[in-house]
Amino acid sequence: MNRTLAFGWALAAAAVGLVGINGLAAEQALQAGGPRRAFENGKLWPDNNGVHINAHGGGLLFRGGVYYWYGEHKIGGKAGNTAHVGVHVYSSRDLYNWKDEGIALRVSDDPASDITKECVLERPKVIYNAKTGKYVMWFHLELKGQGYKAARSGVAVADAPTGPFTFLKSFRPDNAMARDQTLFVDDDGKAYHLYASEDNKTLHIAQLSDDYLAPSGRFIRVFEGRLMEAPAICKRNGTYYFIASGCTGWAPNAARSAVAPSIWGPWRELDNPCRGVNPENRLGPEKTFGGQSTYILPVQGKRDAFIALFDLWRPDDAIDGRYIWLPLRFEGEGFTITWADTWDMSVFEPVSR
């Protein structure tokens, strides 16, 4: 989410209608629950230790029968806007129940490091490179004390999905500003970096090098002048589907969607895909249920199964940020995302054996 716009933490909290909760009460409530068998949107989501999952702006990787969820580890209060811990990682085999695997990438105590404590480290995504055997993480990075002026991408690598990841470098890809971002690996193994650029006015789609550690030099500019952030992408039956949001700081807005026959386009914008209302905050499609897109997850072993992931930001208490996971329904040339308080994987059909 772009914090360059002048939306205060308290203002955004009022706009979304959210209130923080007492940490001890939350801990007790989490520990009282058993294994999950469904997604409960907007609720506290306990890990195996009974602690609310702390993985904001995140993405998922499926490897060896296990899903790995990477996200920003937030702390409470306004300090939650800057990185004091790093990137948290969790693992799961069923997507409902998650094991805390610790901090995959830790921010540095070295003030000379680009990822020193109190930098801004957002929207981490991890992909696996079959040629090198490395796990590669990209993230949006703002240097400490510079606000959102740096607009860089950071890259880190690891030998295992849970890390530890080693920070390699930060830079402006293709000499362009880079903020909210995501990664996508196509069927042929080529990887792409999608990021909000040019002060968020235009989205860039850039092919990565074979080792996934740098831009290849080939990229396109799409959705010019549309002020988009929070990109997410998936591929189904040879067609590419895209979700993003507008740029309104911490305040929610209507989701964007688009479709293309190729990663290189032409991209055609569609309508807001959201349907229904989140009863907790009474926000519907015009505010994306109070959430903001972060990733589209292909579900393994299910037919046409994709889950749209959203963060339900709580700027007044960042550690208590909630999550919204909803299934995509493909209709005609586009798709819809309909609110559900609770749902499970039975909505998807298994792949024929």
Q: What pLDDT is stored for residue 100 in this prediction?
A: 98
Q: Are strands 120-129 and 181-185 parallel, antiparallel or unpaired?
A: unpaired
Q: What pLDDT is stored for residue 314 in this prediction?
A: 73
Q: How many CB atoms lie within 10 A of CB 274?
A: 26
Q: What pLDDT is stored for residue 250 in this prediction?
A: 84
Instruction: Please give the angle made by the CA atoms of 88, 94 and 96, to the nearest 5 degrees.
Output: 65
Q: What pLDDT is stored for residue 44 in this prediction?
A: 95
Q: What pLDDT is stored for residue 353 in this prediction?
A: 54
What strands, in cross-sheet order, belong to the sheet with 99-106?
56-63, 66-72, 86-92, 99-106
DSSP H helical ranges for the chain: 9-16, 23-31
What CATH superfamily is the domain 9-350?
Answer: Glycosyl hydrolase domain; family 43 (2.115.10.20)
Q: What pLDDT is stored for residue 77 in this prediction?
A: 63
Sign of CA dihedral 302, 139, 118, 294: negative
Largest CA distance in the chain: 55
Q: How many CB atoms lie within 10 A of CB 126?
A: 28
Q: Which two tokens stand for residue 51?
A: 């602690």
Q: What pLDDT is stored for residue 21 in this prediction?
A: 36
- Kindly give the confidence (pLDDT) of every residue in the chain, 353 residues in length, as a single tens digit, with 9 standing for 90 and above: 543 333 332 323 333 332 333 444 444 444 456 799 999 999 999 999 999 999 999 999 999 999 999 999 998 765 568 999 999 999 999 999 999 999 999 999 999 999 999 999 999 999 999 999 999 999 999 999 999 999 999 999 999 999 999 999 999 999 999 999 999 999 999 999 999 999 999 999 999 999 999 999 999 999 999 999 999 999 999 999 999 999 998 899 999 999 999 999 999 999 999 999 999 999 999 999 999 999 999 999 999 999 999 999 876 666 678 999 999 999 999 999 999 999 999 999 998 75
Q: What pLDDT is stored for residue 34 in this prediction?
A: 78
Give Cβ neighbours of residue 353 (< 8 Å, ≥ 6 apart): none
Q: What pLDDT is stored for residue 82 in this prediction?
A: 93
Q: What pLDDT is stored for residue 181 in this prediction?
A: 98
Q: Alpha-carbon distance 207 to 331, whole Å?
A: 29
Q: What pLDDT is stored for residue 348 in this prediction?
A: 97
pTM: 0.91
Q: What pLDDT is stored for residue 317 in this prediction?
A: 66
Where do the domains of the chain lie? 9-350
- Burial pattern 16-36, b for ≥16 Cβ within 10 A else e, equals bebebeeeeebbebbeeeeeb
